[in-house]
């Protein structure tokens, strides 16, 4: 008779690495994304030193479209 075979796979050994992220690892990038998105949607708060009139016009048009 042959030797018994194992049908359950063995779990991979953990090398002491914790795969869970701290709360701020998700919160800080999300906060930065929201802040940058707010500046893009409301360019009047951005106070750029110089502005290209075409880009300024584009941002104003986008703001008008999203305000409706």
Q: For residue 46, which of 58, 54, 38 has the smallest C-alpha distance?
A: 38
Q: In angstroms, rounded to a whole number, what is the distance separating the alpha carbons of residues 63 and 42?
A: 7
User: Could you tell me if residue 4 is inside a domain?
Assistant: no
User: Could you tell me if residue 64 is inside a domain?
Assistant: yes
- Residue with more model confidence, 1 or 20: 20
DSSP state of 9: P
Structural domain range at position 60: 38-45+52-68
User: Could you tell me if residue 68 is inside a domain?
Assistant: yes
Burial class (CB in 10 A: 0-12, 13-18, 19+), 42: middle
Domain count, the chain: 1
Predicted local distance difference test score (pLDDT) of residue 66: 84
Predicted local distance difference test score (pLDDT) of residue 20: 86
User: Could you tell me if residue 59 is inside a domain?
Assistant: yes
Q: For residue 53, which of 43, 67, 64 has the smallest C-alpha distance?
A: 43
User: Could you tell me if residue 22 is inside a domain?
Assistant: no
pLDDT in tens, 15-63: 666 678 898 899 999 999 998 888 888 766 555 556 567 777 888 888 8
> Are 48 and 27 in contact, with CB atoms under 8 Å apart?
no
pLDDT in tens, 7-16: 666 666 666 6
């Amino acid at each position: 008779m042959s030797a018994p075979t194992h049908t359950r796979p063995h779990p991979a050994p953990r090398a002491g690495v914790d795969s869970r992220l701290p709360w701020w690892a998700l919160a800080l990038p999300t906060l930065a994304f929201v802040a940058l998105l707010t500046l893009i949607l409301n360019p009047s708060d951005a106070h750029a030193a110089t502005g290209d009139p075409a880009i300024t016009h584009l941002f104003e048009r986008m703001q008008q479209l999203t305000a409706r």
